[in-house]
Structures are given as C-alpha cells and as structure tokens.
Chains A and B, each alone.
Chain A
C-alpha cells in the first residue's frame, strides 16, 4: 500500500489561505488504511482549519467529501457537482490522487494535504514500514523474500557492507541490516548457496531510470 502522512498544519493553512471555499477530498483507499486521508482525517482536518479561521475572525466554507479512489478518473468525476462551489481543492490522497484531480479540474488550484511516503506494509496497528521501491525488476525470489533495494540503506545487491553492527544498520541502530535478514532467512531455508552467488550490477532503467514509467495492457485498454 501507498503510505502517507498529514502535512504540518502550517503548510496546509498557507496553501489555502487565499481561498474562502475549500473542497476537502479524502480517499477511501491506501490513505484511509494508513489513517492519513480517509473520512475521519478529512473531518479532523476540516475541524482544525475551521478552528484556525475562527480564531482569525473569519469563516471558511469547507466541503468534506471522500472518494472511493482518487487515482481513478471515474471516481474523481464525482466532484463535478461540487467543483463550482469551491475556490480550491485540498486533497488528502497520495500524489497520484492529487494529480488525477489536477488533470481533471484544470481551472481549480489543487493542493496536497499529505506527504506521500512510500510503499509499505503494516507492521502492527499504527506502524508502517517501507518494503518496496518499485524497481521494476523484482529480486525477492533470490533474496529470501527480503528486498535489499528497499530495505538496505545503500541498496546494495551484495551485502552486507562494513556498516553492519550486531545485525543492525549503521545509519540507525533501530534499522535491521537487510543483508543480515537475508542471510538468516536463506540459512533457515537451507539456501545458503544463493548467498554466495555474486549479483551482477542492476539495470535501473525499469526502476525509472528510463523516464516516467507506464504499463499498457492492450487487452484491457480497448
């Protein structure tokens, strides 16, 4: 899932300060699950913005709406009925959602209310951790299901480096050394041999090195 975190209130307030009528749009997908931009966070942010304006002695008209998914034009279309009554749009979706809205409603300014963080997994309630960088050429099959691209601070393909200490990464003693994890997992699977094979330099073109990526499924795009 894509994870996100709400931007500092100050920044959001600055974005919207010139406007009196705000369309605040949440998304019922990833950002709901990571509690950054679902219906509840929309309500909470609306309340905070209201409070801020009330304090300044002015009123602001915030229309709250949460779409099923902001990264699909059909869902974004649902804003049509509201758009004329808004001076600006504040999106609580990930960057994909913000851009889908910007593309559809060209005449209205769109601002992000969250910082899109990473593709991550839920470790436990309230904790999410990065697990994938979308490199376009998945290595997990040979690294025991642990990604060195996303989880090694140096993205090393043949680790660990000298910075590993007691199984933790030198950048932060709370971060597991990915290569220690890979080794332990391979050992547990009886696949130590894999570890001894040297990986060749990675082709970073599928990872975005070749420019913005796109998937085209001709069978579906008819």
Chain B
C-alpha cells in the first residue's frame, strides 16, 4: 500500500473550477495526476447518484468543485451541491466509510493556484486514508487466490 496512487474524481463546474483547472495548467502549476475531472455545467447538476457511482466504480476519493459561495453562475447550484455532498457523506458514514473521502470545494475561475493546492491536499489526504474499502477487500481476495 506504500505505493498507493489514489484514483480521484473531481466534478468541476464549467464556469469556475474547470476554468481554474485550465488556469493551473496554463501557468504550469503542478498538481497530482491522480485527479480526473468530469465537467458539468454547474455543480448543481451533480446528482447524489453520480457521486455514489463514482465510489462504486472504484474512486478512492471524490470532490465536487464549484464557484465560490454566492458566486454561482446559476444563483445557488453550488449551495445545493454542498447539501448533496453532505447527504452522501451521511450514507458513507452509515456504511462505515470515512466521510473525508468526499468533499465540497469552492473556487473562482481565476484561482489556478487554489485548484492545484486543493488537488494536492485532497490527494495527500486520500493517500493517508488508503485505498477505498472496496479495493482493500478485493486485493485481499486476490491475494487469497494467489496463495
């Protein structure tokens, strides 16, 4: 597990976080390649099911990145996203998962540095938490078969 490279999905809104990611790129600011972005028009579009499915498919961590509070291009999509993230965190808690695997993050389009630093911090955090519980059990099973 020492060489664990987490798989992280970031649902990014087109207007802020996705643009911030592009900004980080154009300024050549490093962030870990573990983060894969799925573009949505607004974080208000991110369904609780999408977040659950990401974990189901094997994500070690998921974050939803939207505009700064009060700056949503669609008035309040990011606030809705925040509550949905909390809802999924509750489900994760009930299932005995670390809720830290899911987070809501806010940034503006110009914050390339913030995009990079949150990607870095989040990846670090997931590395510390280790692989998703799904993966742990499957690796163990794998090993048993090998034994």
Residue pair A48, B95 in contact (C-beta under 8 Å)? yes
Set of chain A residues within 8 Å of B147, measured between Cβ atoms = none
B99 close to chain A: CB less than 8 A: no
Across the interface, A44 reaches (CB within 8 A) one of B48, B95, B137, B141, namely: B48
Residue pair A55, B91 in contact (C-beta under 8 Å)? no
Output the nearest chain A residue to B49 by Cβ-Cβ distance.
A43
Q: How many residue-residue contacts, CB under 8 A, span A and B?
A: 45
CA distance A47 to B96 in the complex (A): 15
DSSP class of A's interface residues: helix, strand, loop or mixed? helix
Residue pair A51, B56 in contact (C-beta under 8 Å)? yes
Across the interface, A56 reaches (CB within 8 A) one of B47, B48, B137, namely: B137
Residue pair A54, B134 in contact (C-beta under 8 Å)? yes
CA distance A52 to B94 in the complex (A): 10
Set of chain A residues within 8 Å of B49, measured between Cβ atoms = 40, 43-44, 47
Those of B125-141 within 8 Å (CB) of chain A: 133-134, 137-138, 140-141
Across the interface, A47 reaches (CB within 8 A) one of B56, B134, B137, B141, namely: B56
Which A residues are within 8 Å of any B CB, using their own CB? 8-10, 40, 43-44, 47-48, 50-52, 54-57
Additional A-B contact list (13), CB under 8 Å, known A9-B94, A55-B137, A57-B140: A10-B94, A44-B48, A47-B49, A47-B53, A47-B56, A48-B91, A48-B94, A48-B95, A51-B55, A54-B133, A54-B137, A55-B133, A57-B137
